[in-house]
Amino acid sequence: MASSNHSSQPASDIPWAFRDQEVRFARAFTLMRVAIHRRAFPAAALAVTYHRELVALEGFGHFTYDADAPAVQADTIFDLASVTKAVAATTMAMLLHERGLLHLDAKVAHILPDFVSLASSTQRPDRAAVTVRMLLAHSSGLPAYIKLFESAKTREELVGAAIITPLVAVPAAKADYSDIGFILLGEILAKLAGDPLDVFVRQEILEPLGMTQTCFNPPTSARRAIPPTQDDRTFRHRIIQAEVNDENAYIMGGVSGHAGLFGPAIDVARFAECMLRGGAPILKPETVELFTRREISPIGTSRALGWDTPSTPSSSGKHFSARSFGHLGYTGTSLWIDPDRQLSVTLLTNRTWPDRSSQQIKTVRPLIHDAVVEALD
């Protein structure tokens, strides 16, 4: 397995303290290598911050299961998938909320009138009640996922299809994780900001936090340095590498509120440290607290605003505190943050290679988190 090249540390970055990581996190690292051996995923990277220090940063495996595939480095860039929802869309919502441009209880139809005006007459009363808060908390009543890409050929067509997607539940009645809701949220945020989502995210989030390798639509020159996520034989009919795995996001030009970001584990760790510092230097502590606190409605939800919180069982394992918050990505990525422990764990993989069939990541995630916490405790 590949080791990382940790030759230099960027100025003003998280202090590095992982010289003894192979010993300190021996069990976690072994679990990563066993998961690769068992074909849970071919490629992975792990970053751990603890009490404002980077205590682990390592790459594991190879880009694919081929013996001659490139080895993963600690700074290898991955398709972050739905971790985009937290890092990009939710953080943009936080910033616009602070600036008075986004009101959480604003009606979606007030910002996107077609959400109601183009809906069927039987749906209109319910749709008129859907708020921005409900989109963030996944309680809008919109469905989890629809293959809009099967009929939509352009970004405009896909957004239009998302806007008229029928509700499958009464708004605020239950929490149902919804990509469709975050597609609409991304459009709302861009409209309120007066900037495309990718431009705002780069200027207001990524650049201020030093997330220099994170972006939507990586340049063609970076293609060979990014692990592929799928050998797609049904839709794009090619190996998906350095382009977003999610088909709806692909039709949207690779930029959406629900998916599209690419980045290395160290950049995600930089973002996590921002959240652990109460949002500094881009957000206020009260905003972070508001968005990461579990919602009280619908009853029994584990959702915060744009984030999830530990449930039973949780992908964060059994040790993360009740105040923790995190997010998963379909390609096998995750970020969990525990403010009580001052701990963050970034786990990036391409578990969708070659064909999305492996579900072993569901077992691996909690084991890795438990091993990390036990090593620190």
Residues of the chain predicted below pLDDT 50: 1-8, 10-11
Q: What local confidence, expressed as pLDDT, does residue 3 receive?
A: 39
Task: Provide the number of structural domains found in the chain.
Answer: 2
> Of 174, 195, 216, which residue sits at a domain end?
195
> Of 195, 210, 243, which residue sits at a domain end?
195
**164 and 119 in a common domain:** yes
Q: Is residue 151 part of a domain?
A: yes
Q: Is residue 306 part of a domain?
A: yes
**319 and 245 in a common domain:** yes
**177 and 271 in a common domain:** no
Q: Is residue 6 part of a domain?
A: no
Q: What local confidence, expressed as pLDDT, does residue 11 receive?
A: 40
**72 and 58 in a common domain:** yes
**342 and 210 in a common domain:** yes
**189 and 220 in a common domain:** no
Burial class (CB in 10 A: 0-12, 13-18, 19+), 145: middle
Question: Could you tell me the CATH number of the domain that includes residue 317?
Answer: 3.40.710.10
pTM > 0.85: yes
Q: Is residue 120 part of a domain?
A: yes
Which amino acid is it at 263? Answer: G
- Give pLDDT tens digits for 249-304: 999 999 999 999 999 999 999 999 999 999 999 999 999 999 999 999 999 999 99
Q: What local confidence, expressed as pLDDT, does residue 4 receive?
A: 42
Tokens of 374: 């036990």
**206 and 189 in a common domain:** no
Q: Is residue 10 part of a domain?
A: no
**204 and 189 in a common domain:** no
Q: Is residue 46 part of a domain?
A: yes
Strand, helix or coil for residue 303: strand
Q: Torsion angle, CA of 173/176/180/186, rounded to 10 degrees? A: 80
Please report, for residues 52, 218, 222, 253, the alpha-carbon distance to residue 42 in angstroms, rounded to integers and kept in the order given. Answer: 30, 21, 19, 27
Query: What residues make up the domain containing 58?
Result: 21-86+199-376
**276 and 183 in a common domain:** no
Q: What local confidence, expressed as pLDDT, does residue 13 receive?
A: 85
